[in-house]
């Protein structure tokens, strides 16, 4: 199983597997060694080039796949991070899925179904903008949503109110087991929680209202959800504590400074891919002979005619 190798560069940003975590312990304004925005932006550009080469080898080798998961509060910067970090990747080898409110068909399946069918094939990078983790976040804050899932034994709000920690523990175990299975099957699971502060989210919401080009991103529901901030932070803390594992750890990325967030996400993805020792596949001797023959034929042509 390709466990994550220990890297001191990310210790401060990693939710250590097996330990209890609180989101409040992670600083959303942290910028590491950087004092200038331009320094991080220059390195981001270099990492984009690193990722271009690594993704090309991943696609050619066709043995591993990569699943990148982004979870965050609204306005944390998921879309922008995906756009900037993956800007140099060949679209042929990358797929992005955004998981919104589930459809009736999706609700008639188990909660993993809609995500599982979108997993990346070998050689490809799959990006989940939100994911099955919504089922231990949104449904944790709004357990009444579970009534729409037609779960056995949960048929009324009264029964929802009786749910205890055992219910959520089972979901954590299910998620961990699935991610362990994926890892053992050759899918590298990289999980990012973009940690934006309450203050910064408010600032970004106001900016979206003031900017007509960003009005479409804004919904009154986003502001309504802010009233549940404390409950969400408790849900995220439990998520980090129960689902950060050696094979699929959570990276808690400071999100108040977008330039640092984008750099560090790109650096972690590149580092995780480099751990795989990716390489272009060796050609069999027959294929090498065919290349030699093709060269002779091409060079024997007159002026390309």
Q: At what angle do helices 37-61 and 78-85 cross, to 10 degrees?
A: 70
Average pLDDT on 141-164 reads 93
Query: Domains of the chain (ranges plus CATH)?
Result: 8-300 (3.40.50.300)
Question: Residue-wise over 80-93: b if at least 16 C-beta within 10 A, else e?
Answer: ebbebbbebbeeeb
pLDDT tens for 166-194 read 999 999 999 999 999 999 999 999 999 99
pLDDT, residue 241, reads 98
Task: Name which of 259, 221, 230, 256 is nearest 84 in CA terms.
Answer: 259
pLDDT tens for 62-92 read 999 999 999 999 999 999 999 999 999 999 9
Tokens of 104: 């009736």
**Cβ pair 69, 131 in contact under 8 A:** yes
Length of the chain equals 305
Query: Which CA distances in Å does 123 have to 51, 90, 192, 279?
Result: 14, 12, 21, 12
């Amino acid at each position: 199983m390709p466990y994550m190798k220990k890297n001191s560069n990310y210790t401060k940003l990693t939710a250590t597997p097996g330990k209890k975590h609180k989101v409040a312990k992670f600083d959303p304004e942290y910028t590491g060694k950087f004092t200038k925005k331009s320094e991080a932006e220059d390195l981001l550009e270099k990492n984009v080039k690193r990722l271009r080469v690594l993704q090309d080898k991943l696609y050619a080798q066709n043995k591993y796949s990569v699943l990148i998961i982004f979870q965050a509060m609204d306005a944390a910067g998921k879309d922008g991070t995906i756009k900037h970090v993956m800007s140099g990747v060949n679209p042929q080898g990358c797929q992005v899925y955004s998981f919104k409110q589930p459809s009736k068909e999706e609700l008639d399946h188990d909660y993993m179904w809609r995500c599982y069918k979108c997993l990346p094939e070998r050689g490809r990078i799959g990006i989940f903008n939100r994911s099955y983790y919504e089922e231990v976040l949104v449904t944790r804050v709004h357990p009444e949503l579970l009534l729409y899932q037609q779960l056995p034994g949960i048929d009324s709000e009264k029964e929802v109110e009786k749910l205890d920690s055992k219910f959520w523990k089972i979901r954590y175990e299910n998620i961990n087991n699935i991610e362990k299975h994926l890892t053992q099957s050759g899918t590298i699971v990289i999980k990012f929680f973009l940690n934006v502060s309450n203050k910064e989210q408010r600032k970004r919401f106001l900016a979206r209202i003031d900017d007509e080009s960003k009005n479409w991103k804004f919904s009154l529901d986003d502001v309504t959800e802010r009233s549940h901030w404390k409950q969400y932070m408790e849900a995220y803390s439990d998520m980090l504590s129960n689902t950060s594992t050696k094979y699929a750890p959570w990276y808690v990325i400071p999100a108040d400074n977008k330039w640092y967030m984008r750099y560090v996400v790109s650096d972690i993805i590149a580092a995780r891919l480099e751990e795989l020792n990716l390489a272009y596949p060796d050609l069999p001797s027959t294929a090498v002979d065919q290349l030699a023959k093709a060269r002779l034929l091409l060079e024997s042509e007159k002026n390309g005619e």
